[in-house]
Structures are given as C-alpha cells and as structure tokens.
Amino acid sequence: MSRPRSFDSRAVVDAAMQALWSGGVVGTSVDDLLQATGLSRSSLYNSFGNREGLLAEAVQRYADQQIAAVRQLFAHAGLEQAMGALLLDAATSNHDGRGCLLVNAVGELHEQAGPTVDVVRAAFARLSAAMEQAIRDVAPAGVDAAGLCAALMAAIAGMRTLQRADMPLAQRRQAALHLARALAGS
C-alpha cells in the first residue's frame, strides 16, 4: 500500500510553474524542480510520473490562470480598454520581466517534437481560444474576433520584447495605447 501524499499538490504545481517560468522549460532540470517544490525525487515520480508530468500540470495551471484573468478583464472593460490593459501590462511589468511562460516555452521548443511541446502548444491554443471568445463577447457585430485575437497576441508578444529590450517606459506606454486604439478600430 502506498503512503498518502504529505504535500499540497497545488502548492507544488505552483512552485514548479514559478521555477519553469524563471528558468525556462528546457533549462529547468529535475533537480531544479525538486529544490523549488521541496519534493523528494520519489515523491515527484510517484505523484507526477516524471518531470514532464509535473511540467504538464504547471503549464496547465499557468494557462488556467491566464484564461481566468483574460475573461475577467474583458468582462469588466470595453474592447479597447481590455486590450490596452493587456498591452500596458506587457509593456511595463511583463510579469516582472519574465514574459509569458507559454510564449517563452514556444520559443524554447519551437523546433522540437514530443509530449512537452504538445502540452505547451495545447495550452497556448486554449489561451488563444479563450481570448478570442472574450473578444467576441465584447466586440461589435462583424468584428473578426479570430483575426483580432491573433493581432492582439502578436502585439502583446511585441510589447514583451520591447520591455525586455529596455526601451524607455514612456515609449512603451505610448506604443501600447496606440496599438490598443488601432486594434479596436480594426
């Protein structure tokens, strides 16, 4: 008979998510995950199967959090205001300079194949679908929600790049507001 878990799996997955977000999906080793989560090697393997099992849960948790935030933002703001808030966040805090875990992971894994890249791409697709639906819910009739979502995601990725490149804050803010206005008018 196996022993019951003696850890909070939600806290472990959150700690793994933070480690992967900071160290990268490729660069974060099993030892890094063990240190971040406080798990023993046997607990990690018994509870999550392997590194990829924990990674999959961490990526899903991140996607779930981002989807909830996008839904809440669009539900409480107009189209231009919601897009502006997303772009301003990417231009200024950018998750304390870490960017988006999913975008970072796609960049790391783009030439690879296998279950890890499949998990990341599926989570990215879920986030994109949720953002598209949030746009559809608040956009005027006739707006191409899929096209606008893709443009917004590209603009967010661009703003994250400008933030990481240390472009002056005033210019990043101005660019974010300009992009939000332009996208809302399209």
| Tens of pLDDT, residues 2-13 | 544 567 889 999
Say what the pTM is: 0.88
97 within some domain: yes
152 within some domain: yes
Angle (CA) 176-104-29 rounded to 5° is: 150
17 within some domain: no
Exposure b/e, 140-168, CB count within 10 A at least 16 = b: eeeeebeebbebbbebbebbbebbeeeee
Which CATH number characterizes residue 96's domain?
A: 1.10.357
Instruction: Please check the confidence at residue 132 and state whether its pLDDT lies above 60.
Output: yes
43 within some domain: no
24 within some domain: no
Q: How many CA atoms are closer than 13 Å to the CA of 103, on its beta-carbon side?
A: 17
Amino acid at 98: R
Instruction: Please check the confidence at residue 43 and state whether its pLDDT lies above 80.
Output: yes
| Total domain count, the chain | 1
Cβ partners under 8 Å of residue 95, min gap 6? 21
86 within some domain: yes
Nearest to 120 by CA among 106, 130, 134: 106
Phi-psi region of 111 (alpha: psi -120 to 50; beta: other; left: phi over 0): alpha
Q: Are 138 and 84 in contact (CB under 8 A)?
A: no
pLDDT single digits (tens) 96-110: 778 889 888 988 887
Confidence of residue 186 (pLDDT cuts 50, 70, 90): low
Q: Are 7 and 48 in contact (CB under 8 A)?
A: no
90 within some domain: yes
Selected residue with higher pLDDT from 40 and 1? 40
What's the rounded Cα separation, in Å, for the pair 143 and 183?
Answer: 11
100 within some domain: yes
User: Which letter does DSSP use for residue 140 in this model?
Assistant: P
Please give the residue range of the domain that contains residue 67.
59-185
